[in-house]
Amino acid sequence: MQPFYYMAVLFIILLLARQTRTERRLFHVKLTSWPKQIVPAVVAGLLAGLFLSSLSLFIGFAFTSETVYWLWGAAVVLVLIRIRYVCIAYSAALVALLSVIAGLFSGSMDSGQWYGALLESLAEQDGAALLLLAGLLHMMEALLLRWQGDYAAGALIVEGKRGLLVGGYQLPAFWPVPMLLLVPAGSAGAAAELGWTPWLTYASGYSGSWTMLAMPVVIGFSSLATARLPRAKARKLAGSQLYYSAGFIAAALLAVWWEPLVAAVAAAAFVCHELIYYMELRREEQASPVFVHDVKGLRVLAVVPGMPADQMGIQTGEILHKVNGTPVRTTQDLYDGLQVNSAFCKLEIINLEGHVKFVQRARFEGEHHQLGVVLAPDEGAPHVAGRLAASLVDLLRGRRTTRQRGSTVTM
């Protein structure tokens, strides 16, 4: 099943590369680098996969290689609609629901025909176990969001209320998770006996041999942050996902105990995941934006890595209050303040806690004209990013990631 894992990594790389292109078109600088972003995502996914693989030794999922194909087939179909549908909650819920429906018709179909064989294969999938695995994966997703949910945060400009421009961050937090799950061996060649009985097969009385099944998946959540800093937004999402996963696991356990609940739990998992997404989106739209200029100065949207601002410790969300003693309220004020002394700069910054701090350094010829600071947008910005995530087709086609103000092309 290695090709599926490589597909998962490639998918995330394409997503990160697309985000880098968006930043370049909006700000004309390179704020992020996908090679540096993909490494922590892969490492975190490996750790999550190792934990769940170990846990599966005591659960014993009744999956086959066909389960992997069904999950990935569902994921590919769903991601053609929206990229965020690549999450395991959607594909597992869809396969579980379809397995219930297929079970109603599989007996009346000729298994010798291709459609009959497909229905039979789908009906044999353990929907309750799929939902339980998806719930456990969402628990890991919540922990990863808490730990590194802003690892791929990318700055952008969007239209806020009444068409006013605001800065924000897109958080495409996805992780490729490779798992080796303990499953009944069936007719598999490599198998082993166990000194214990895994939980899911205890009630069925299965006492045969066991093997390991490779099952790579993608977990993650995509969101937009305009009313919170990226790290705060990721942690808020982590809390929502934690509650969701706890309810998901509890409902899946009920479906394991009473199989007729599978369809209801699958539908609820899909709907609740969508509710979390749209509720978070609405909260952001109704709350006051963070990345707008303040009466005290100019808001920092982002800092270019390695530039003077980065070296001086200026952070996203802080306010440039004075430059070389000159109060700054507009971009022109910033330029004028820097021209006061072309060889040195001293900045008065209002930090995230509202306290004043001072930073300074020498200036050298050829350095960035704004010290590497990307400011919150003003009304002169010609392009904005769309609010909606692209489909897989848009991603593969390299569709433009920005649009002219006033147009309706989605991201």
> Which long-range contacts link 393-397 to residues 24+ away (Cβ below 8 Å)?
393/80, 395/14, 395/15, 395/18, 395/83, 396/14
Residue (of 118, 99, 96) closest to 109 by Cα position: 118
Q: Which residue has the tokens 């922990």?
A: 143
Question: pLDDT band for position 217 (50/70/90)?
Answer: very high
In the chain, the domains with their CATH numbers are 3-286 (no CATH), 298-375 (2.30.42.10)
pLDDT at 408: 43
Strands in 178-263 per DSSP E: 180-184, 210-214, 217-225
- pTM listed for this prediction: 0.89
Q: Which residues contact 294 (CB under 8 A, 6 or more apart)?
A: 319
Between CA 14 and CA 25, with CA 20 as vertex, the angle to 5 degrees is 125
pLDDT for residue 387 is more than 60:
no
Question: Which of 141-150, 190-199, 398-407 has the largest mean confidence?
Answer: 141-150
User: Residue 194 burial by CB count (10 A; 0-12/13-18/19+): exposed, middle or buried?
Assistant: middle
Q: Measured on CA atoms in the order 329, 330, 333, 338, is the torsion positive or negative? A: positive
- Predicted pLDDT at 180: 93
Looking at residue 13, its pLDDT comes to 93
> 38-47, 159-168, 195-204, 267-276: which has the minimum mean pLDDT?
195-204
The per-residue pLDDT for 389 is: 53
Average pLDDT of the chain, as a whole number: 87
| Share of residues in the chain with pLDDT > 70 (%) | 88
Find out whether 314 and 373 touch, Cβ atoms under 8 Å: yes
Q: What is the mean pLDDT of residues 156-185?
A: 88
- Cα–Cα distance, 87 to 70 (Å, whole number): 14
Residue 209 has pLDDT above 50, yes or no: yes
Give the pLDDT of residue 185: 79
pLDDT category, 409, cuts 50, 70, 90?
A: very low
